[in-house]
Structure 1
Amino acid sequence: MTQPLSELDIIFPHLSNNPKFSSTLISLKRSALSIHNRLNSITLDSKFVTSVSEAYQLPLVANERCGSWYIHPEKKAEGVYFKSTDGHMSQWGFSLRRLNLQLLDVVQKHGGAVVVDSTRRGKSMPDALSKTIPIWCCVINRTLFGTDGEHAMYTPPQAVSSSEHAQISSKIDGFVQQFLEICKPNVPELRAKLQKPLRPIWVTQQSSLPDPPTVFEDFHPVVLCTASRRVQGAESSEGGYVQGAADDHEAWSHGLTPPVFWKNKDLLMSASDEDAPAIISELLEQAASVRTSSGTTLIKPTSTLYIAATQNIDLSGFDIVITCTPEPLPLESIKAAKLKHYLPLICRTGKLGSRDLRTELSLLPTFLSSLHFPSAPPKILLSCPTGTDLSVGAALTVLCLFSDDHGNIDLSTQRSEHDIDKILIKQRLSWITTSNPSLNPSRTTLQSVNNVLFSGGNAQQMRAQITDRMHTAIKPLHHHHHVPKNIFTALQNTDWKFHRTLTSALPTHPSGTVDGTATFTPVVVPTTPPTLLYAEQGEFVTDTGLTFTARRKYVYQLLSEDEGGSEGVVVKFFDDEAVPRGSGVGRNGEGIGGVFVEMGDVVPGESGQEVMRARNKEQHLCAEDLYTAAWEFGAGMVGKEGGVWWEVRYDVKGPKKDYVSRTRYERVKNEV
């Protein structure tokens, strides 16, 4: 017998086939929360926000990141970061990380401000407006005007119960004490910005706006504007209107930002939901292509520490640049800026980069403490792809290690890990976030900073890693200035005296010193690159008192870019058996043996241009022994004013050898 139709069959006829009812509701909700509906709701709410600004004749300040969507960029006076979580039940707090003192500058200039935020359906206003900012206003008032209790805390009675209000009020004086003790604000300077206390005023779309504008004699108004109207039912019942449409924009915006939205509002509003993602992607690419480096931020109270995004970065005028990027900066950019000190911290993007930072940051203290600026503090730039995360972590490390409480940075004085605590880190972080509210490091980045600051590090190991980084990552600045050729020329234009120390870890190999002379004799061989025959003779005195004569020969050759891939110096063995004893290299290259060590790129040493350094490109295996070489050259060796000297160190490891040989060569001055 046929069953009669039910109400369910009429309203949702497809449900007679027994699909999940929830799939229909999900489909309806997605339709109501479409990109078009969200952007349209934002546009409608922005008109109300503008009317609030006009009614109170006060500038608009966005509580980032939601608030910026409701304010046209041309009307946005400032941005602040007040977290709703600091207003959650039993979690009330005054953020020492984000002091938001830039809001006082707006109040000083205009007499007050309108702070804009919104929240999703179910609430009349966000906790940031109902509790977090009122807490902040009360703490600032009592800090600047006294803690005698006269400056009460104000909360909206329709959103905050009397019991919760009382519990929050009991914590205010504790927040004031933390602010003063940990952040150490300049109270007289802040007090000069306010002629009277701050007072929060709440405005929603159900509020009556003043007409004409009200004059506030006793306080500076901080108008807390909830942009969206409150929705009681589901989104589908509102004809496409979405309360708090900008909230959690990461989940729906496809990367769209408020500036890009407002610049292209008409185009985006006319696009279908199917076409919107592709249009947004194209607009974001266009915005990225025209982005400039104007976003460089000076971290106050310092006068020399800056943070910027890496794209189109301007290096000119900086003494030290540190980047946190997957790849080092192009050599052309470094050369064009005449940059002397550059350290790339190799970090991937996103969360992976924050994890990489834990290892990379350990290089930073040793690198900076090795630099010397006796006349004036250096101008330092730290950069990462966004300019708001990894570079902030690096800047925080610099501030904790090298700055005093007044913001003076001294690289010659590094704070010990025993003198660093969480209070110091919070204080230095507040300098950064106050200088620019958008500088918002992730939790993982901050954890990496803490790991480095509290764990210290092996300075000698860090120096070796930094030297390796300068060789393998930077592709040194002076490579194209013919430094290897200058060194090769300097070797043959003078006689040398040398002093060598040999330190052996094994009793079978003697330790001691060698003093002697060395010469570099030019050799002309048609089929080989420029060649010098190195010959030394000296007296070896062992630690046990034995003395004997030491002689040695090597062959030095200058490789051109065509011959060796890059211009450089290679040291080869000299084969005595290939030529008559006592003679030099044969006419056809007899005596020139295999490669001993090949000098890598020559880069500035720890003291900048005064010393140049190099390491061998690869460790050399001689029989069973492994050789590692490192060189230092005085300025006079590379065509500059300064000392004519050089040093070479060999580290030798093997089953029967374990020693270090250090030799310093100095020019023999001709006596008249």
Structure 2
Amino acid sequence: MTALEQRSLALLRKESLDIFSRLHSIAEDILFVNQIREFYPEMPILPNLRCGAWYTDPTLRQWPALVANCPVYFKSTDGHFNNWSFTLRRPNLQLLYFVAAQKDGTGIILVDSTRAGKRIPDALSKTVPIWCAVINRAVKEVYPQGKDEWDTNLYTPPAAVSNQEHDQIDRRLDGWASALANSSYDLPNLPFPLRPIWITPTSSSFPSLAKDRTFLPIICLSASKQVQDGVERRSGGYAYVQGSGDDHELWGMGLTPDIFWQHRATLLDAERAELPTLVESLVAANAETRIARSAITPINKVRGLVLVCANSDLCEMPEPDVAHIIVGVHLPPLDYSGPNVLKIQTWEGKKGQFQLLQDVLPRSMEFIQSHLTTENKRICVSCDSGTDTSIGIAVAALAKFFNDAGDLVLQGDNGVLLVNKNAIRMRLEWIINSRPLANPSRTTLKRVNEYLLSSNSFRAPSSKPFPSL
């Protein structure tokens, strides 16, 4: 490579880091996504979070309430080589119910993208195919009648997945399917098996889906063009960046897909020099006008006696028949006080995890037991995200105070239930079944396991208050 070529490549890479090139690259890819949407006008189009949301117009996604509040998330890491997985913590069953409800086996279009080096992201080339095959096998195991010809094969794109890797994945499918079939999740009896189909900007033609087909198509749409080095000069004054929507926290200056789609024309009309200031103003305005969406989720298995949400989802005034546990690094400025409210401000990092085990869980369990027994109230647990600490507290409460049928059992200081790892896993599945966005960290779940499975010294609030912040 000559010195001039090296300088040109360096300039391209510098431009690829700026928000101007990123947004215009996304706009270029949106044209292709819209072309596919017009080719399959009856098929709902959904993004695979997080990247896919940049390429799908929210007004055209046709999301039902279930999928809108609990977006689909197939992680690329679950498809990485030698790390293949179908995890019961991310079963994406809300998508399964949505697909099953489509008339005449319409199927869906699932949109994602990937950066340089690949034509199809691992999420679409392997994670989704694993999901389809596991679902198909689990459904056949749960509903065997009439499924002699049910297709349980693994389908992967040959250009992205070698025969050796395909075979290695295939050998693991039965174990994952049995785990799903024997879990506490409710699987719908699908009319047809799922089958992934792949479309990229290099596709010479788009599959024609016959009306008499015997499968539910999951069209895996990779939005971005594969370009050399991941960057390519465009005549519009920007550098095209493959997979621009990926990791927007690193380049977006606080911009989100929703803000982008609300102000798309304004952002794309802005000059490169004025764009950062415009983005800052839009992000600031969005923060000032954002209204929290009501997303308090009752856990269906226990008939809504336990609810979970984010602190931002709480209403201005609590309901009279609900007791609240509110935990977080930054507690919301709400007028929640009195004997029906337990507020715990938490530390961040390792100190916060120690606090969860020694302080938050013991105090929360005492509070929950008291209100479920004597006050006959429902319990709402909230945290900063609504996906982590509050879920851990709810898992502990469901394990301590509810049996495997979801019935309330309160006898004695420590209850009468036999708590083991299977019971804890089952309670987490109850929560995910009602609130698919629940995603407690491994560290949080480890603290919950330690609390529930260790000696009774962890089961009562410490006599010494945890040091205040």
TM-score, structure 1 normalization: 0.59
Tell me the CA shift for residue 322 of structure 1: 0.6
Structure 1 residues 49 and 306, CA, compared in 2 at 3 Å: closer, same or farther?
farther
Q: Which residue of 2 aligns with 1:313?
A: 314
- Pairing partner for 2:211 from 215, 224, 234: 215
Q: In 2, are the aligned partners of 1:39 and 1:245 still within 8 Å (CA)? A: yes
Q: Residue by residue, what CA displacement relative to the aligned partner does 1:498-549 show, whole Å, maximum 9, x if unpaired?
A: xxxxxxxxxxxxxxxxxxxxxxxxxxxxxxxxxxxxxxxxxxxxxxxxxxxx
Q: What is aligned with 1:370?
A: 370
Alignment partner, residue 227 of structure 1: 223
Residue 333 of structure 1 aligns with which residue?
Answer: 335
Alignment partner of 1:46 is 2:30: yes
1:142 corresponds, among 137, 157, 181, to 137
- Structure 1: give runs of 5+ residues left out of the alignment: 1-6, 13-20, 474-672
Kindly provide the CA deviation profile for residues 447-487 of structure 1, in whole angstroms up to 9, marking residues without a partner as x: 33333333355379617568x99xx99xxxxxxxxxxxxxx
Structure 1 residue corresponding to 2:21, chosen from 37, 41, 59: 37
Structure-to-structure mapping, 1:501-512, within 5 angstroms = none
Q: 1:33 to 1:300 in 2, by over 3 A?
A: farther
Structure 1 residues 208 and 276 mapped into 2: Cα distance closer, same or farther (>3 Å)?
Answer: same
Which amino acid counterpart does residue 86 of structure 2 have in structure 1?
F
Q: After superposition, give the CA deviation of every residue in 1:607-650 in whole Å (9 maximum; x if it has no partner).
A: xxxxxxxxxxxxxxxxxxxxxxxxxxxxxxxxxxxxxxxxxxxx
The 3 A distance-change label for structure 1 pair 174 and 415 is farther
Structure number with the higher helix fraction is 2
**Match for 2:217: what amino acid?**
P
Q: After TM superposition, give the deviation of residue 442 of structure 1 in Å.
A: 3.2
Deviates more, 1:267-276 or 1:398-407: 267-276
Question: CA, structure 1 residues 38+400, in 2 after alignment: closer, same or farther (shift >3 Å)?
Answer: farther
Residues 283 and 166 of structure 1, relative CA distance in 2, 3 Å threshold:
same
Give the 5 Å matches for 1:581-592.
none
The one-letter code matched in structure 1 to 2:369 is: S
Cα distance 1:435–1:275, how it changes in 2: closer, same or farther (>3 A)? farther
Specify whether residues 394 and 208 from structure 1 end up closer, same or farther in structure 2 by C-alpha distance, changes over 3 A only: farther
Change (3 A) 1:218 1:351: farther
Write the distance in 2 (CA, Å) between the matches of 1:174 and 1:212.
34
Q: What's the CA shift for 1:412?
A: 4.8
Tell me whether 1:427 sits opposite 2:422 in the alignment: no
User: Match of 1:261, SS?
Assistant: helix
Give the drift of 1:391. 2.0
Equivalence for 1:297: 297
2:181 paired residue number = 180
Shift in Å, 1:140? 1.0
SS of the aligned residue for 1:91 comes to: coil
Change in CA separation of 1:297 and 1:184 when aligned onto 2, cut-off 3 Å: closer
Whether the 8 Å contact between 1:311 and 1:385 is mirrored in structure 2 is yes
Please state which structure has a larger fraction of its residues in strand: 1
Aligned residue type for 1:324: V
RMSD: 3.3
Counterpart residue type for residue 309 of structure 1:
A
Deviation at 1:343, TM superposition (A): 1.2
Query: Partners in 1 of 2:29 and 2:408 — Cα distance?
Result: 46
Report the CA distance shift for 1:367/1:31 in structure 2 as closer, same or farther (over 3 A).
same
1:616 aligned residue: none
Conservation of the 8 A alpha-carbon contact between 1:417 and 1:456: no
- 2:50 aligned partner: 65
- SS in structure 2 opposite 1:58? coil
Seen in structure 2, the aligned counterparts of structure 1 residues 401 and 271 have a Cα distance that, compared at 3 Å, is farther
* CA deviation map 1:329-372 (0-9, x unaligned): 65x7236xxx6421112214678655643442232222222334
Q: Paired residue for 2:60?
A: 75
| Residues 1:165 and 1:399: Cα distance change in structure 2 (over 3 Å) | same
Unaligned runs of 5+ in 2: none
1:412-561 to 2 correspondence within 5 Å? 412=411, 419-421=419-421, 423-458=422-457, 462=461, 464=463
Moved more, 142-151 or 157-166: 142-151
Q: Work out whether 1:259 is the aligned partner of 2:258.
A: yes
User: Could you report, residue by residue, the CA deviation over 1:202-232 in whole angstroms, capped at 9, with x for unpaired residues?
Assistant: 1112225559764252011111111112113
Quick one: which amino acid aligns to residue 80 of structure 2? H
What is the match of residue 561 of structure 1? none
TM-score (norm 2): 0.82
Question: Alignment length, in residue pairs?
Answer: 442
What's the secondary structure of 1:458's corresponding residue?
helix
Instruction: Give the whole-Å Cα distance in 1 for the aligned partners of 2:212 and 2:201.
Output: 22
> Relative contact order (alpha carbons < 8 A, sep ≥ 6): 1 or 2 greater?
2
Deviation digits for residues 17-73 of structure 1, max 9, x if unmatched? xxxx89x86554121232111112222222322332332321112221111121122
- The correspondence for 2:77, drawn from 67, 78, 85, is 85
Task: Give the C-alpha shift of residue 294 in structure 1.
Answer: 1.5
Displacement, 1:312? 6.0
For residue 665 of structure 1, what is the aligned residue in structure 2?
none
The farther-off stretch of 145-154 and 396-405 is 145-154
Q: State the distance in 1 between where 2:184 and 2:395 align.
A: 17
Sequence identity (%): 36
Amino acid in structure 2 at the alignment position of 1:389 = D
In 2, distance between residues paired with 1:278 and 1:355?
42
Please tell me whether the aligned partners of residues 28 and 236 of structure 1 are also in contact (alpha carbons under 8 angstroms): yes
